[in-house]
């Protein structure tokens, strides 16, 4: 029996170990589609509504037909049931433009086990390398074709950056703009603390708005944190009272090393983990049509 | 009967209208793989050896196992036979990292009809829009994780740029670096003529080395053309004695309009088309292991 669950948007449960996509699917040959990853915990896909809203934003950036949240909710529900509530899962929503030779979009939901890499990142934190992203923070406003705020299936450079970091012994990457501003991780949002202030780079700097970071900000504001968006430089990370990579499946990974420099233990570490856990369980039940 | 041919690298002829890839193939969910497109003419995939060499270069940039040219030649041969010699075809070689859940790489060859868009571009030329690529020409040398010289399956921004151009009535795009240097098209090499000198931007400016442009340079040198690599600015295109987009399947498309400005007919137009046709039929029979 497969370790994976696969449900197509037409609510069919499929064998994940049978081929699904044609050789000319534009997801395959062009990376031309969008996706979301969600954490399944207790049999439930967390923060589903913000993820569906972001799927719509991404689809719009690529000129794809607007994803119907009703259909996606139903497919997700079936995938949740198939996966069960005994262990966490990593869910993916995938929407591609469909076959080059024509026809409908390709749309499906998968759930797979949470990888050992992710469990390790939660437990021990990560060492990161700062790498040039090549872009200016101003690019996204003037160049919508760069799709900087969209979560596309074209992740080859993200994966290459992670492989590059691995060859130098690092677990993850933080991208820096051509001006030297901190941007994001290839699969995470960068968060820092300065005493009781949380800071993250502004989404209009050409980065993906983080659903987990946004959920955290909602909850942390009620717990006496100031939550801000601000341009950050690498030195701000070194001098911070804690640096974290925040994302949907990993949730929180403390950054314990940047470019080989060991960061002191974050005094707020346990509180951030607790707040994120609370945030992802409670936040984001409202869907905002985009 | 399908209009497409599909042959996997294990030399099996498959039904192109049956699914081939699993939902967790890294080509699908990450655009994590490489490809080549070739023109099939007279039952033969043109410039096969330079394409196989570039497939190896791309694979190396992505840390994929080195493609075995013997295996690819055999799969291509079968695909050529299946396609026949009666009409042109657009061949694609696709190599992905395989399934996220493990196993071998995914590798296959397809042949499909040459699209009406391409036939039109050959006949009437193209109007292009110049769009910012966001990168500096220096980035590729210092940031190998940006994969700027590799032909990856992550083409979402290329496709978005073409869609953006289409909304403004343009057929194609020429990317410009953050310094304002001419780079390349999303699926072509930029070539200009100044009297009997042909110029194209240097590949080390973060662009894909063009197999068709290289074949043309070999042939054109023997016909009294000077063939050079040089940094080009948009004004150089406006002032040139001809601007073309050169690529494997389209072969030559004259640029007849840039950002709405009509370019005069290129005096060398017919000669360039003839030279490219000669070049792709004769050049590139030697394979250079990378």
Of the partner residues B6, B136, B164, the one whose CB lies closest to the CB of residue A178: B136
What token pair was written down for A140?
């996204």
Taking the Cβ of residue A57 and every Cβ of chain B, the question of whether any pair is shorter than 8 Å is answered with: no
Taking the Cβ of residue A18 and every Cβ of chain B, the question of whether any pair is shorter than 8 Å is answered with: yes
What token pair was written down for A248?
């949907």
Residue A276 has pLDDT above 70, yes or no: yes
**Contact (CB<8Å) B134/A143:** yes
What DSSP letter does each residue of B48-73 carry, written as one string? HHHHHHHHHHHHHHTTPPPP-HHHHH
Work out the minimum CA distance from B269 to partner chain A, whole angstroms.
31
The DSSP output letter for B43 is T
State the complex-level ipTM. Answer: 0.95
CA distance A177 to A190: 14
Residue B217 is inside which H or E element, if any?
Answer: helix B211-222
Half-sphere exposure of A211 (CA within 13 A, CB side): 31
What pLDDT shows up at residue B267? 86
> What are the φ/ψ torsions at residue A255 (nearest 5 degrees)?
-85, 115
Taking the Cβ of residue B131 and every Cβ of chain A, the question of whether any pair is shorter than 8 Å is answered with: yes
Angle between helix B69-83 and B48-61 (nearest 10): 130
What pLDDT shows up at residue B287? 61
What pLDDT shows up at residue A92? 98
Bridge partners of residue A229, in order along the sequence: A200
Q: How confident is the model at residue B8 (pLDDT cuts 50, 70, 90)?
A: very high
Q: Please, what is the average pLDDT of chain B?
A: 95
Among residues B216, B189, B221, B228, which one has the least CA distance to residue B274?
B216
Taking the Cβ of residue B161 and every Cβ of chain A, the question of whether any pair is shorter than 8 Å is answered with: yes
What pLDDT shows up at residue A286? 63
**Contact (CB<8Å) A160/B146:** yes
Chain A residues whose CB is inside 8 A of the B159 CB are 26, 30, 32, 62
Residue B88 has pLDDT above 90, yes or no: yes
Q: Tokens 């295109």 label which residue?
A: B237
Work out the minimum CA distance from B54 to partner chain A, whole angstroms.
17
CA distance A99 to A283: 36
Taking the Cβ of residue B25 and every Cβ of chain A, the question of whether any pair is shorter than 8 Å is answered with: yes
Residue A245 has pLDDT above 70, yes or no: yes
Work out the minimum CA distance from B58 to partner chain A, whole angstroms.
12
- Contact status, residue A63 vs residue A98, Cβ threshold 8 Å: no
Residue B219 has pLDDT above 60, yes or no: yes
CA distance B48 to B284: 7
Of the partner residues B21, B139, B144, the one whose CB lies closest to the CB of residue A20: B21
What pLDDT shows up at residue A1? 41
Q: Give me the mean pLDDT over the B108-124 stretch.
A: 97
Residue B283 has pLDDT above 90, yes or no: no
**Contact (CB<8Å) A132/B153:** no
CA distance B54 to B9: 17
- In the stretch 226-285 of chain B, residues with CB closer than 8 A to chain A read none
CA distance A35 to A150: 9
**Contact (CB<8Å) A178/B142:** no
Q: How confident is the model at residue A265 (pLDDT cuts 50, 70, 90)?
A: confident
**Contact (CB<8Å) B155/A30:** yes
Of the partner residues A24, A110, A156, the one whose CB lies closest to the CB of residue B4: A24
β-strand pairing of B126-132 with B172-176: parallel
**Contact (CB<8Å) A135/B134:** yes
Classify the C-alpha dihedral A125-A129-A132-A137 as positive or negative: positive
What DSSP letter does each residue of chain A carry, written as one string? --S-EEEETTS-EE-TTS--B-TTBHHHHH--EEEEEEEEETTEETTHHHHHHHHHHHHHHTTPPPP-HHHHHHHHHHHHHHH-SSS-EEEEEEEE--BTT--SPEEEEEEEEPPHHHHHHHHH-EEEEEEE----TTHHHH-GGG-TTS-BS--HHHHHHHHHHHHTT-SEEEEE-TTS-B--BTTBEEEEEETTEEEE--GGGT-PPPHHHHHHHHHHHHTT-EEEE----HHHHHTSS-EEEEETTTEEEEEEEETTEEPPPPTTHHHHHHHHHHHHHHS-------
Cα angle: A173, vertex A174, A179; to 5 degrees: 140
**Contact (CB<8Å) B31/A131:** no
What tens digit of pLDDT does each residue of A97-110 get?
999 999 999 999 99
**Contact (CB<8Å) A27/B30:** no
Q: How confident is the model at residue B83 (pLDDT cuts 50, 70, 90)?
A: very high
**Contact (CB<8Å) A21/B24:** no
What pLDDT shows up at residue B72? 98
Farthest CA pair distance, chain A: 56
CA distance B29 to A94: 8
What tens digit of pLDDT does each residue of A156-193 get?
999 999 999 999 999 999 999 999 999 999 999 999 99
Taking the Cβ of residue B135 and every Cβ of chain A, the question of whether any pair is shorter than 8 Å is answered with: yes
CA distance A232 to A237: 8
**Contact (CB<8Å) B160/A100:** no
Q: How confident is the model at residue B1 (pLDDT cuts 50, 70, 90)?
A: very low
Q: How confident is the model at residue A140 (pLDDT cuts 50, 70, 90)?
A: very high
Residue B107 is inside which H or E element, if any?
Answer: strand B106-113
Residue A235 has pLDDT above 80, yes or no: yes
CA distance B85 to B140: 40
Work out the minimum CA distance from A11 to partner chain B, whole angstroms.
15
pTM here is 0.96
Residue A240 has pLDDT above 60, yes or no: yes
Nearest CA in chain A to B93: A29
């Amino acid at each position: 029996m497969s370790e994976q669950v696969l449900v197509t948007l037409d609510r069919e449960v499929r064998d994940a170990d049978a081929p699904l996509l044609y050789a000319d699917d534009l997801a395959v040959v062009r990376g031309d589609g969008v996706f979301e990853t969600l954490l399944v915990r207790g049999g439930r896909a967390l923060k589903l509504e913000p993820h569906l809203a972001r799927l719509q934003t991404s689809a719009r950036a690529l000129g794809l037909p607007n994803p119907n949240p009703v259909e996606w909710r139903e497919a997700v529900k079936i995938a949740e049931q198939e996966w069960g509530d005994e262990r966490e899962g990593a869910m993916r929503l995938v929407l591609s433009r469909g076959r080059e030779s024509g026809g409908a979009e390709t749309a499906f939901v998968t759930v797979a086990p949470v990888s050992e890499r992710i469990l390790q990142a939660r437990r021990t934190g990560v060492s990161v390398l700062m790498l040039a992203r090549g872009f200016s923070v101003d690019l996204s406003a003037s160049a919508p074709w760069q799709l900087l705020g969209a979560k596309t299936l074209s992740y080859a450079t993200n994966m290459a950056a992670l492989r590059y970091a691995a060859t130098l012994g690092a677990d993850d990457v933080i991208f820096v703009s051509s001006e030297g501003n901190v941007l994001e991780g290839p699969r995470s949002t960068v968060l820092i603390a300065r005493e009781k202030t949380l800071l993250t780079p502004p989404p209009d700097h050409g980065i993906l708005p983080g659903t987990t970071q946004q959920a955290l900000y909602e909850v942390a504001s009620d717990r006496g944190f100031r939550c801000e968006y601000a341009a950050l430089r690498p030195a701000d990370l070194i001098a911070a009272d804690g640096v974290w990579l925040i994302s949907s499946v990993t949730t929180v990974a403390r950054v314990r090393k940047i470019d080989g420099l060991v960061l002191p233990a974050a005094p707020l570490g346990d509180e951030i983990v607790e707040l994120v856990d609370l945030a992802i369980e409670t936040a984001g039940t409202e869907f905002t049509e985009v």
